[in-house]
Chain A
């Protein structure tokens, strides 16, 4: 069965600093992986996804993630944090059992950006 672990429920960075949000997955088959973001009082928005094409995936708002099979990781990065990046971030994997695409989420990481 697939699962997702996000290391660090809270991450705090300075504006302009590197953002690194960690995600490790467990899957017995090649996974489909997603990063979603939830801004305050809004729904989940897709940042990027990995679907077995390029291992380095670029998303919206300057975020990217690298799929590393040997490390079973899909960490999210952004070179320079903006105040507007403050939000909660969720890593997810597709549970393909049964032939459909339900998502299994990690517990989320809340990112704070301070001046």
Chain B
């Protein structure tokens, strides 16, 4: 069974440019989460999809971030325009059960974003 995959693994862009990150969850997983780790800080929740619907986007920093999940499969996270403080590692995770408290989230390898 393939794990969670993320693309690209690394991205270096200039301030003001646009970047789109992609996450492919484990097949059949309805829950998809995005997290971010800014250098030296905690990993922080950004948002949660249940199938194609945004369930919780309370962690999104501002309206420069836009997440979508097409047809309840893969998800994209677009940052437009990127700012220096957006640099960090963006993790995607997926899990199977809706409302499954304590359920394991399976993480992808992350996308390392550097904004210059």
Chain A residues near B (Cβ < 8 Å):
32, 34, 36, 41-46, 49, 51-52, 90, 92, 94-96, 98-108
User: Which partner residue on chain A sits nearest B9 by CB separation?
Assistant: A41
Closest A residue, CB atoms, query B44:
A105
Q: Are A108 and B107 in contact (CB under 8 A)?
A: no
* CB < 8 Å neighbour of A43 from B42, B95, B101, B108: B108
B56 near A100 (CB under 8 angstroms)?
yes
- Write the nearest CB–CB distance from B54 to chain A, whole angstroms: 12
Contact B45 A104 (CB under 8 A): yes
* Residues A90 and B43 in contact, CB atoms below 8 Å apart: yes
| 29 residue pairs from A and B, CB less than 8 Å apart | A32-B102, A36-B107, A41-B109, A42-B109, A43-B4, A43-B91, A43-B107, A43-B108, A44-B91, A44-B93, A45-B107, A46-B104, A49-B102, A49-B104, A51-B102, A52-B102, A95-B45, A98-B56, A100-B55, A101-B31, A101-B100, A102-B45, A102-B48, A102-B59, A103-B33, A103-B45, A105-B44, A106-B42, A108-B42
CA distance A8 to B55 in the complex (A): 34
B35 to chain A, nearest CB (A): 8
Binary interface profile of B, 12-55, with partner A (CB < 8 Å = 1, else 0)?
00000000000000000001010100000111110010100001
Interface residues of B (CB under 8 A from A): 3-4, 31, 33, 35, 41-45, 48, 50, 55-56, 59, 91, 93, 95, 99-110
Of B55, B93, B107, chain A has the most CB atoms within 10 Å of the CB of B107
Q: A100-B31, A108-B42 are in contact. List 9 more A-B contacts (CB 8 A).
A: A34-B104, A43-B4, A43-B110, A44-B91, A46-B106, A51-B102, A95-B45, A100-B55, A105-B42
Complex Cα gap A105–B46 (Å): 13
- Given A49-B104, A94-B102, A107-B41 in contact, is the A100-B110 Cβ separation under 8 Å? no
**A41 CA / B110 CA spacing, docked (Å):** 9
Closest CB-CB distance, A96 to chain B, in whole Å? Answer: 6
Min CB distance A23 to B, Å, is 13
Bound: A46/B103 CA distance, A: 11
Q: Which residue of A lies closest to B6 (CB)?
A: A43
